[in-house]
Structure 1
Amino acid sequence: MTDSVTTADQVTEYLKNHPDFFINQDELLLKLKIPHERGVAISLVERQLQLLREHNLELRSRLGKLMEVARDNDRLFEQTRKLVLGLLESQDLEQATEILKDGLEQDFNIEFHSLILFTHQPATLTIREENPDTADEILGDLLTGFGDKQASGQKVICGRIKPRELEFLFPDNHKEIGSVALAPLNFPKNVGVLALGSRDESHFRASMGSLFIGYLSDVTSRVLSRLVDATRSDG
């Protein structure tokens, strides 16, 4: 007769398949001991309670983080809504640029920002104007992919950029900036860029989400296109 040896894996598998095995096995539960990290053996019941407490704390921590993210998203939505409505209600370029400036600085705590329009026919607007050929020469690869894409295909670039590019985008503060988010203003065509800057080198990074920045550039490009045309017509 061959002796049958029960392995640890078999016991484990059996208990997995029979999770109610220990019901009405109080005496057995109290006899089972599990080594503790402090070196003192504890009963299976105590170990289960400990695991449940730890799992509960982990769930509470996750819930807290989810609630924090939800609050941040609500705040971001309200700030974005306020800024977008202000831009849409702007009557002229000066008002639009002032609303954009105040929103970025006061509501979103953006340290540096730059709004640049590309044109071969500057009209002395209240917004900085640059020759598109000059912008293409300096920004080079940063503008590749912007082109005349529709809003849904816009590309937002986040991260660190070259000193010459920084100096073009932020002529007065380029030495203070560690990272940048660059979004195209391309409605109905490539009319310029919106650049946001931070002293923190990791604030704007390639892996971050760019939904807000892309959405803001969509709205800004449409508002500016309308107001620039109106200004030039009046002129």
Structure 2
Amino acid sequence: MRKTEEAGALRPADIDLSADVVAAFLRAHPDFFNKHSELLRHLEAPKRHRGNGVVDFQHYMVERLQRDIDGMTRDQHDLIVTARDNLLNQTRVHAAVLALLEARDLAGLLQSITTDLAVVLDLDVATLVVESNGDNIPHVHGSGIRVVPQGTTERWLDGRKIRLRDHIDGDPSLYGEGAGLVKSEALLKLEISRLAPVGLLAFGSRDAAMFHPGQGTELVGFLARTVELRLRAELDLPPQR
């Protein structure tokens, strides 16, 4: 075989591509078009009726294109649903942040965290957890606020700053009487100050798929940072570092 001097490619005249050779090749490689399906777009298919023994190749190509269109339609629908969900979640988090900013004192802020956030974010339970060093922790006792032993939040978070879980049974030590409602949760670590105990923000939902691993955490992470800043300001504490 000869190659062109300029491109080094084989010229058609140098290759025996008779119909018999192509037919023999396709018989020997029946999965050829499965591996190279893009070539079907360049073929001129036979008409539907060409006599006995003729394969309806055109019908096959139309079915394949229909499957491609169906797949693209499903992908488009999934993309639209995801975009709508993301926009809804963004709107909810923005509303939650505004609710936190509107609190005028510590009592109002704690009320907003444990009550308003659940309403705005369409949750069943919102809990603020703080770790105890064995003594009473001032200013944090109230409905929706739970005090736990040191190291508890780290165990719940399993080494993460944000942990999302789906299809679970709520932990009574975390959600109290509302634990029975919780089927998915978002746990957010709170590092308020180097002079304050470690905290945790827990969101629980009866929707088993509302929170799940692999879900984006930017919005809930931003909300957790807002809670940290507001608590730090109300308690007049220095930063974590």
- Identify the TM-score tier after normalising by the shorter chain: 0.5 to 0.7
1:59 to 2:59 alignment: no
Alpha carbons of 1:69 and 1:118: their partners in 2 closer, same or farther (altered >3 Å)? same
Long gaps (5+) in structure 2: 1-19
1:173 to 2:178 alignment: yes
C-alpha contact 1:157 1:182 (8 A) present in aligned 2: yes
1:7 to 2:25 alignment: yes
Which stretch shows the higher mean deviation, 60-69 or 172-181? 172-181
The structural deviation recorded for 1:115 is 0.8
Alpha carbons of 1:32 and 1:210: their partners in 2 closer, same or farther (altered >3 Å)? farther
Instruction: Give the match for residue 165 of structure 2.
Output: 159
The structural deviation recorded for 1:30 is 4.3
Map Cα deviations across residues 157-211 of structure 1 (whole Å, 9 max, x no partner): 2338x99x93332232335544432211103345411112234666544444433
Instruction: Give the match for residue 224 of structure 1.
Output: 231
Long gaps (5+) in structure 1: 36-40, 146-153, 231-235
User: Which residue identity lines up with residue 53 of structure 1 in the other structure?
Assistant: Q
The structural deviation recorded for 1:104 is 3.1
CA RMSD of aligned residues (A): 4.0
Q: Give the whole-Å Cα distance in 2 for the aligned partners of 1:21 and 1:202.
A: 46
Alpha carbons of 1:17 and 1:209: their partners in 2 closer, same or farther (altered >3 Å)? closer
Q: Give the whole-Å Cα distance in 2 for the aligned partners of 1:143 and 1:44.
A: 57
The structural deviation recorded for 1:222 is 1.1
Instruction: Give the match for residue 136 of structure 1.
Output: 150
C-alpha contact 1:122 1:129 (8 A) present in aligned 2: no
Q: Give the whole-Å Cα distance in 2 for the aligned partners of 1:206 and 1:18.
A: 40
Q: Give the whole-Å Cα distance in 2 for the aligned partners of 1:111 and 1:16.
A: 50
Which stretch shows the higher mean deviation, 118-127 or 78-87? 118-127
Q: Give the TM-score of the pair, scaled to structure 2.
A: 0.65
Q: Give the whole-Å Cα distance in 1 for the aligned partners of 2:218 and 2:91.
A: 15
Instruction: Give the match for residue 8 of structure 2.
Output: none
- May I ask how many residue pairs the two structures share in their alignment? 206
C-alpha contact 1:136 1:143 (8 A) present in aligned 2: no
Q: Give the whole-Å Cα distance in 2 for the aligned partners of 1:104 and 1:32.
A: 69
Alpha carbons of 1:139 and 1:87: their partners in 2 closer, same or farther (altered >3 Å)? closer
Q: Give the whole-Å Cα distance in 2 for the aligned partners of 1:96 and 1:187.
A: 14
C-alpha contact 2:146 2:174 (8 A) present in aligned 1: no
The structural deviation recorded for 1:223 is 0.8
Matches within 5 A, 1:5-84: 6-8=24-26, 12=32, 20-22=42-44, 28-30=46-48, 43-84=56-97
Which stretch shows the higher mean deviation, 70-79 or 182-191? 182-191
User: Which residue identity lines up with residue 213 of structure 1 in the other structure?
Assistant: V
C-alpha contact 1:138 1:168 (8 A) present in aligned 2: no
The structural deviation recorded for 1:95 is 2.6
The structural deviation recorded for 1:226 is 0.9
C-alpha contact 1:94 1:126 (8 A) present in aligned 2: no
C-alpha contact 1:114 1:194 (8 A) present in aligned 2: yes
User: Which residue identity lines up with residue 68 of structure 1 in the other structure?
Assistant: V
Aligned counterpart for 1:214 among listed residues 217, 221, 228? 221
User: Which residue identity lines up with residue 7 of structure 1 in the other structure?
Assistant: F
Q: Percent identity?
A: 19
C-alpha contact 2:184 2:208 (8 A) present in aligned 1: yes
The structural deviation recorded for 1:70 is 0.7
